[in-house]
Amino acid sequence: MPRRMKADLRSKGSSILVLARSSSTRTGTSRVASYETSSDCADMSSYLSRCHSCRVESGCFMVYDRTNYMGNQFFVRRGEYSDYQRMGMSDCIRSCRMIPMHRGQFRMRIYERENFGGQMHELMDDCDNMMDRYRMSDCMSCNVMDGHWLMYEQPHYRGRMMYLRPGEYRSFRDMGMSGMRFMSMRRIMDSCY
């Protein structure tokens, strides 16, 4: 990205994610390659062969350990993230998605089974324990009507997570989340930015 474009992005308050890869040379010195983005990137291999850390200068992003927004996901906001393994990445960061700021109400319907089957509940706020609140042991599909959400595999917003933006999600298993049970969900609010 040209320097002039970088300056324009910063002055407008856009979301900016800087991804980095460091490597050692034969002489023992370190080299750092970086890539800066303010939008989605489905495959970072053309910019960085391996990305092990990132810094968020503004906004919020999801980073993924596979291309095309697949695999393990991790939510990042303003700050530095120096170790991809602490983020739950199995290899390195391979794709990223910018999360736009949402103002307004939040609404999501969760379903016990795939294809919007079984028990259904509508959420408009965070749920720290789906089992306690709804007596629902599993969530396998959902419809996000408003806002951006994070779903977690354990109660109290712990464990692996998945980012959901407005749309229908008929099968989490088909999205590469087989074997994962979601037990809590949280809205991505203005306070995250």
Instruction: Domain 107-192: give its CATH architecture.
Output: Sandwich (2.60)
- Asked if 37 and 17 touch (Cβ cutoff 8 Å), the reply is yes
Measured between alpha carbons, how far is 151 from 55 in angstroms, rounded to an integer? 23
- Phi then psi for residue 24, to 5 deg, are -100, 145
Strand partners, 164: 149
Placement of tokens 């949402």 in the chain: 102
Predicted confidence band of residue 19 (pLDDT cuts 50, 70, 90): low
Please, where in the chain does CATH 2.60.20.10 lie?
3-99, 107-192
Rg value, the chain, Cα: 18
pLDDT at 60: 93
Best CA proximity match to 35, nearest among 61, 71, 72, 73: 61
CA 173, chain centre distance (Å): 17
pLDDT at 3: 34
Measured between alpha carbons, how far is 32 from 180 in angstroms, rounded to an integer? 35
Instruction: Name the amino acid, one letter, at 163.
Output: Y
Q: For the domain bounded by 3-99, which CATH number is listed?
A: 2.60.20.10
Q: Does residue 84 surpass a pLDDT of 90?
A: no
Mean pLDDT of 162-169: 95
pLDDT at 170: 95
Classify 78 as helix, strand or coil: strand
Lowest mean pLDDT among 26-30, 66-70, 182-186: 26-30
Best CA proximity match to 119, nearest among 142, 96, 98, 99: 142
State the CB neighbour count (10 A cutoff) for residue 23.
Answer: 12
Predicted confidence band of residue 193 (pLDDT cuts 50, 70, 90): low
pLDDT at 81: 85
| Tokens (6 digits) for 156 | 């109290």
| Tokens (6 digits) for 70 | 């697949």
pLDDT at 11: 35
Order of all β-strands in the sheet with 141-146: 117-123, 107-113, 141-146, 167-169
